[in-house]
Chain A
Amino acid sequence: MAPLIQTVGLRKDYRVGDVIVPALRGVDLEVAGGGFVSVVGASGSGKSTLMNILGLLDQPTGGRYLLSGEDVSALDRDRRATLRNRTIGFVFQSFNLLARTSALENVELPLLYDGTHATAADRHRRARALLEAVGLGSRVDHTPAQLSGGQQQRVAIARALVTGPRLLLADEPTGNLDSRTSIEIMEILQRLNRDDGLTVVLITHEHDIAEYGERNVVFRDGRVVDDQPVSRRRDASAELQALPAPEEAA
């Protein structure tokens, strides 16, 4: 069976004035369906560029990108949008929730664009189920301003999952969170990966966060410089149990 993600000699050049700056210089990467891969690298290493291309937000300058065995390197804007909607969920460092909009409606957002014209009741039902799965069943009507950072990120995870994608791309998902909340978020990602077989690609510059993945891919100067399984993988669920009871009021 073809890997979920396969890149062959992936290149990306940016043009800054007259100078061409290479961001990716030939990346070969495979991620099997159901995998949990952490991409680690300093800022400027090209890992964000890789994430944009893997997420079909951007197109490579050269090389090929196969998603579920299909070459998606040269799809047009709208085809990429449709594919993003159905197969990829995004979790961003800054949450990117719509302000003054309830958690429920934030989670429903991708369903507006999935082309199935689900009824409002159906959308509510699906969004509510996901919010319950991330532990926010009692806060569906809260707006982002009424939620803590960790809760906002959980809303974002629910949103990423609402269309039932196979791939979750998490770009520094814990970058704005304290360490306990970070572990909570990683617990959700590990659980989704383990229980639902969701493929997770985690982009981070923190090595300790990367160790929640089963495999670390290290980026430097637009190239993969290291790619190996994590020897002592961290287990967020076990770490949470070892921690004292949460101070955060439910």
Chain B
Amino acid sequence: MIAEALSILRIAFRALARNKVRSALTALGVIIGVASVIAMIALGSGARAAIDEQIQSTGTNVVFVSAGSHNRPGAAHGGMGSVQTLTLEDATAIREQVPTVAYLTPVVRGRAQVIAGSQNWNTSIEGADESYLTIRNWPLADGENLSPRDVLLADKVCLLGDTVARTLFPGEDPVGQVLRVKNLPFRVIGVLSPKGQGQWGQDQDDVVVAPYTTIQRKLLGITFIHQIMISATRSDAVERTAVDVTHLLRQRHRTSGPEDDDFSVRTVEEMAETRSQLAQTMSGLLMSVASVSLLVGGIGIMNIMLVSVTERTREIGLRMAVGARTRDILSQFLTEAVSLSVLGGVAGIVLGVAVSAALTRVLGWPTMITAGAILVAFVFAAAVGIFFGYYPARKAADLDPIDALRYE
């Protein structure tokens, strides 16, 4: 059985080797098709992995409530502090009235020059309470978290992101040291573990976290807050939480709907959506390239196999005369077509991996090559060979031995 399969394969490869250029050109359609399939799947899984990671790094089951609205251009993005619609009372009301809220922290933000000894660094300041790290799923590398007491008393203590810690205190233990933010001394009580790049490529570790009370009163001099960060009790309660919060805030702010909301509620999944849509568009484009070229490649294979059957009519007749049965001829030509498409498939996989790597390198799109993708591409290639090779093979197998032997 195996010996037989091998000899059929050998015959097929030999026939293909006789017309190397023709075989290569014929396989080109399949090569491009399979490469597109690989790139498409790589882009899709890369995007999904990036999104998962982003969701993971933003926090668990997180809902953001921001001041300002999606629907007022400039409002939400118009700069911190320009919109004064969210208050601590809103945060308290949400904490008390939305049952699916597990953790909640008010957030105020600013940028400031931070000085420690001779080191000087411009970084972003996050004012929050002690649940910030829990919500953002962000473990401490060293020291301890803010305490409720720090928040209540507006203590001048802070946690440093990894980048800030390494920049301001190179080779030193930052915990217990003092740094100055706008001339106010802050005691470092903890260092955060590195988190890496955020959604838009920003460095999430370039941050100083301090009690929001301290930042509000002593640094920014404001009474409102910029954001409320919520963690829902369960992942399937995220949507519910977002809806409840929206209703509650509409009541409190006396707004009637999305048109005049002065706040926006978003989940981390929604934020990830933008990015996944980009990947989907690209995937869709590749998908159409893939299907068109697999189709064209398949037709190319069928065409060349038909030519080959005609050219080799006498050979087929002779094989029949010396005892080849219908299925021997059928399997011979089918094997040839499938070998062609599978060889094209293998080349296409190599090309696809290269294209994916190039997409990541040149355009910065995350891609991920999985064994599943390679398997799918391989199966596609083989299927094209079987589907488009069957008709010519059938034609060869159904030749009349006498006519075939006499064919000129």
C-alpha spacing A85/B325, complex, angstroms: 10
B324 touches A96 (CB 8 A): no
C-alpha spacing A112/B11, complex, angstroms: 11
B319 touches A96 (CB 8 A): no
Which chain B residues border A77 with CB–CB below 8 Å? 325-326
> Which A residues from 23 to 58 make CB contacts under 8 A with B?
52, 55, 57-58
B402 touches A113 (CB 8 A): no
A98 with B322, Cβ < 8 A, contacts A57-B401, A113-B328 known: no
Classify chain B's interface size: 20 to 34
Main secondary structure of the interface of B (DSSP, over half): helix
B325 touches A82 (CB 8 A): yes
A64 interface residue per 8 A CB criterion: no
Interchain CB contact (< 8 A) of A117 among B3, B320, B322: B3
Classify chain A's interface size: 20 to 34
Which chain B residues border A112 with CB–CB below 8 Å? 7, 11, 324, 328
Q: What's the least CB distance linking A231 to chain B, in Å?
A: 34
A98 touches B323 (CB 8 A): no
C-alpha spacing A188/B69, complex, angstroms: 100
A81 touches B318 (CB 8 A): no
C-alpha spacing A98/B314, complex, angstroms: 9
What sequence of 0s and 1s flags, for each residue 388-408 of chain B, a beta carbon within 8 Å of any chain A beta carbon?
A: 000000000000011001000
Which chain A residues border B317 with CB–CB below 8 Å? 96
Interface core residue of A57, A117, A159, A163 (most chain B CB under 10 Å): A57
Q: What's the least CB distance linking A59 to chain B, in Å?
A: 11
What sequence of 0s and 1s flags, for each residue 305-333 of chain B, a beta carbon within 8 Å of any chain A beta carbon?
A: 00000000011011111111111100000
A55 touches B321 (CB 8 A): yes
Which chain A residues border B402 with CB–CB below 8 Å? 52, 57-58
Which chain B residues border A57 with CB–CB below 8 Å? 320-321, 401-402, 405
B1 interface residue per 8 A CB criterion: yes
B325 touches A109 (CB 8 A): no
Which residue of chain B has the shortest Cβ distance to A156 in the bound complex?
B318
A241 interface residue per 8 A CB criterion: no
C-alpha spacing A74/B401, complex, angstroms: 16
A90 touches B321 (CB 8 A): yes
B3 touches A81 (CB 8 A): no
Which residue of chain B has the shortest Cβ distance to A159 in the bound complex?
B322
Q: What's the least CB distance linking A232 to chain B, in Å?
A: 34
Which residue of chain A has the shortest Cβ distance to B14 in the bound complex?
A101
What sequence of 0s and 1s flags, for each residue 175-211 of chain A, a beta carbon within 8 Å of any chain B beta carbon?
A: 0000000000000000000000000000000000000
Task: Show 5 A/B contacts (Cβ-Cβ < 8 Å), sorted by A.
Answer: A78-B325, A85-B323, A113-B325, A119-B3, A120-B3
Give chain B's interface residues, CB within 8 Å of chain A: 1, 3-4, 7, 11, 18, 314-315, 317-328, 401-402, 405
For the complex with contacts A81-B325, A159-B322, 10 further pairs of A-B residues with Cβ separation under 8 Å are A52-B402, A78-B325, A78-B326, A81-B320, A81-B324, A82-B325, A85-B322, A92-B405, A96-B405, A112-B328
- The 5 A-B pairs with the shortest beta carbon distances in the complex, nearest first, are A85-B323, A113-B323, A110-B322, A78-B325, A81-B325
